[in-house]
Structure 1
Amino acid sequence: MVSITFDQQADFQFVYAHLIKDMNGKQKISVNEEELTLSIQVEPYNTKLCYHISQCIVRCVSAIYEKQWMKQILMTKYLYQDKDEIGEITAIAKSIGEGNKEELPGAVRYTNRMDLLLRSTVSCIEQGGTIMFDSYLRFRTGPYRTLLTELIGEAIDEYKLEQEYQNFVEALRQLLKVRETIQEKVVVVFDHSYNLYDLNGKKLNGLYEPLDDIPNGLSLDDIDPEILLPLLILAPKEIYLYTEDVDEGLAQTIRNVFEERLCFFPLRLFKNVF
């Protein structure tokens, strides 16, 4: 017999609902709503049933506690207090944890964090007896919470990089606002590398004066010299960018800086037009 006693009504109801759903009436669950206790008869070596019970508990931790613990880590370990910053960082952590940041070295281990918690939970359930859910949260989630702390650290690094990038883009926008237009319309082609043309198909690479009005806090070394710097110098009112990869990093920066001045077109159309 495994009995789980909860301190919180929400935890009790969550686990009970998922147990009923998972077991589909195949296993009797004894319920004591007054004491917030769930009891299930588990035969020796019934690994499958222990696994199902553990899954329900892990889902409860994921749904109810993970975000709370992330906020707690940010506030106590990293001393963040601003609600907006905390919200943005936890959103980034969730994105990393869901496997949406595969470019980060070792990010896959964060997507497997629930497996780590599941193994610990199965071990607890297999021992049987009475389990205090509050004690389980305190003593059985250690490795998982350690990994969660590391995940938050990764998210903070990503957040800071994003802030730096947004500041960089804003500085370029401000620079663009004070630039006089030298070339009204330009064509940018990305086919493994970038090239710049006028509307007659004449290459513009290198046919411009250097940029000498860099604002404070921005360095020429920060600006891509291949295409972004020429575009800032020419300050065109319209940019036609031909590419098959609109998500390429520099293409996205051009979009973010020039905004409504930029139009994307498929690369194959460039050969037809020129």
Structure 2
Amino acid sequence: MFEISFRNESDATAIYMNILEKNPESDSILSLHKEKIVVESKDVHFYRNTIVPVLKYYIHRTKEKEWILSVLANTFYYKEEEEQEQILCILQSILLGERSDIPNLPALEQRDAQLESVMQSFFQKPISFSFDSFITFRLKEYFEGLQVFVEAAIDEYKLEQEYQSFVHQLRELLTTTDSKLDELHLVYQYQFDFYDKSFSHIPKNQLIKFMNRTHFNNYSYYIDSVVLAPLVSIAPKKLFLYTDNTEHQLVETIRNIFEERAVVLPFHYFGQNKSKID
């Protein structure tokens, strides 16, 4: 017989139920006593193939989140639930390998291997132990390593917040600017080119004349003077954007600023539409 003790009854209950779910027959050797799980067996196979995987899964799914929320609130002072959830969402995508463009992060495989190594070395045979002490001391380095990913998620969150503020400011400016053209055609293949409703090319010197630079003097963000500043200054009632590169960052930004005013079409549509005018 051995025991697993817990500080919180909720942890004990959740892990107990998870063990029963993974191995329903274990109810004959398993019992729950508030903050303690008692196992009436020292069968190594049951221990390694049922209990240890359940503990590992619970650490991944529950205790990691608790630790992250504590770090966000007490170390980085993100105490609002909405902020925490947004950072958690970003962190989850990082840990799933969906943001591989973020530099200087440890390999995700190292993190998984570290947890597996600690679990295997500690749980070689059935012993009584404190679950919370195991997390605090045995997994100290593992959770410290997780903080690198938390900090990366916070940096990404800050960048996204700045981007949303940038888009919001330009959207507000757009709504208060009189439209200088009812219709504008913007083409992007290798560069951005402007055309009026007759599909006549608008040269750079004409774009400069449209721009009201005083609009952008008080903005805390850099406003691209080649594309965004002319676009917002012209404030067309309808914007047709032709491109095959819809994931280009500036293309996405234009869509976010112009919202329902913008229509994004494949690049070859420009030639088709222009030929109708010609």
Q: TM above 0.5, one fold?
A: yes
Aligned length: 269
Identity %: 27
Instruction: Tell me what 1:213 maps to.
Output: 214
Task: Tell whether the 8 Å contact from 2:13 to 2:32 is kept in structure 1 after alignment.
Answer: no
TM-score (norm 2): 0.83
Residue 3 of structure 1: how far off its partner (Å): 4.6
Residue 34 of structure 1: how far off its partner (Å): 2.2
Instruction: Tell me what 1:34 maps to.
Output: 33
TM-score (norm 1): 0.84
Distance in 2 of aligned mates of 1:169 and 1:58: 42
Asked if 1:268 corresponds to 2:268, the answer is yes
Instruction: Tell me what 2:70 maps to.
Output: 72
Residue by residue over 1:181-207, the C-alpha shift from the partner in whole angstroms, topping out at 9 and shown as x without a partner, is: 222111112223322212332222412
Residue by residue over 1:131-190, the C-alpha shift from the partner in whole angstroms, topping out at 9 and shown as x without a partner, is: 221211211221221122222211221121112112211221222233222221111122
Task: Tell whether the 8 Å contact from 1:175 to 1:215 is kept in structure 2 after alignment.
Answer: no
- The 1:166–1:17 alpha-carbon spacing in structure 2 relative to 1, beyond 3 Å, is same
Asked if 1:187 corresponds to 2:188, the answer is no
Task: Tell whether the 8 Å contact from 2:105 to 2:148 is kept in structure 1 after alignment.
Answer: no
Segments of 4+ moved more than 4 angstroms: 20-25
Residue by residue over 1:19-76, the C-alpha shift from the partner in whole angstroms, topping out at 9 and shown as x without a partner, is: 4454575x78721222632435344xx6x96365432112111222222211110122
Residue 237 of structure 1: how far off its partner (Å): 0.7
> Gaps (5+ residues) in structure 2?
none
Distance in 2 of aligned mates of 1:263 and 1:242: 8
- The 1:30–1:9 alpha-carbon spacing in structure 2 relative to 1, beyond 3 Å, is farther
**Structure 2 counterpart of 1:264, which letter?**
V
Q: Summarize the alignment of residues 97-246 of structure 1 with structure 2, pairs less than 5 Å apart.
A: 97-107=95-105, 109-110=107-108, 113-206=111-204, 207-208=206-207, 209=209, 210-215=211-216, 217-218=218-219, 222-246=222-246
- The 1:128–1:178 alpha-carbon spacing in structure 2 relative to 1, beyond 3 Å, is same
Q: Residue 164 of structure 1 aligns to a residue in which SS? A: helix
**Structure 1 counterpart of 2:52, which letter?**
S
Instruction: Tell me what 1:50 maps to.
Output: 48
> Gaps (5+ residues) in structure 1?
none
Q: Residue 255 of structure 1 aligns to a residue in which SS? A: helix
Task: Tell whether the 8 Å contact from 1:242 to 1:266 is kept in structure 2 after alignment.
Answer: yes
Task: Tell whether the 8 Å contact from 1:31 to 1:38 is kept in structure 2 after alignment.
Answer: yes
Q: Summarize the alignment of residues 89-104 of structure 1 with structure 2, pairs less than 5 Å apart.
A: 89-104=87-102
